[in-house]
């Protein structure tokens, strides 16, 4: 340790155990999750079924692999939806066609995007939706509208 320039430490285990936990969600207001609860109830946090379904779809479909194979960030999101009682694979089968389009995260793009289907036909005749996650400034720059 005598030659160390930087020492990184944390109290939550993120660095030492490669484990993260979702503690807050922003959905028009700050929602603090009761992380010690073994399960969550959607109604305790959201009173709008459209927002609930949108969040479930975004997390289930715009994450890669299973909970065991995913990155620490994706594991945290998938573990949260599991605590809400969402069947990850069932939601993926419902919303992702076999030939779905996904743009994986890269350090250059600073975002990941997945196109889902069976989202309900809009006034423009589309039945698809794109979910994007990544650096806030990149995601916001790509938006023309947002839910608040």
Residues assigned a catalytic role: 10
Q: List, in sequence order, the alpha helices (H) in the chain.
A: 14-17, 42-45, 49-61, 72-83, 88-95, 136-142
Residue 25: in which H helix or E strand, if any? strand 24-26
Tokens found for residue 91:
């939601």
Rounded to a whole number of angstroms, the CA Rg of the chain reads 17
Supply 72's token pair.
């620490």
The structure tokens listed for 120 are 């309900």
Using CB atoms within 10 Å of the CB of residue 32, give its burial: 0 to 12 exposed, 13 to 18 middle, 19+ buried: exposed
Burial of 27 (0-12, 13-18, 19+ CB in 10 A): middle
């Amino acid at each position: 340790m005598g030659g160390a320039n930087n020492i990184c430490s944390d109290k939550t285990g993120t660095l030492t155990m490669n484990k993260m936990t979702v503690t807050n969600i922003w959905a028009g207001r700050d929602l603090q999750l009761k992380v010690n609860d073994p399960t969550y109830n959607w109604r305790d946090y959201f009173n709008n079924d459209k927002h609930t379904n949108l969040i479930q779809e975004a997390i289930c479909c715009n994450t890669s692999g299973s909970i065991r194979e995913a990155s620490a960030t994706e594991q945290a999101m998938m573990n949260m939806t599991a605590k809400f009682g969402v069947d990850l694979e069932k939601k993926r089968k419902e919303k992702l066609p076999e030939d779905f389009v996904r743009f994986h995260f890269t350090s250059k793009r600073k975002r990941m995007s997945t196109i889902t289907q069976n989202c309900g036909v809009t006034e423009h005749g589309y039945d698809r939706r794109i979910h994007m996650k990544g650096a806030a400034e990149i995601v916001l720059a790509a938006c023309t509208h947002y839910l608040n």
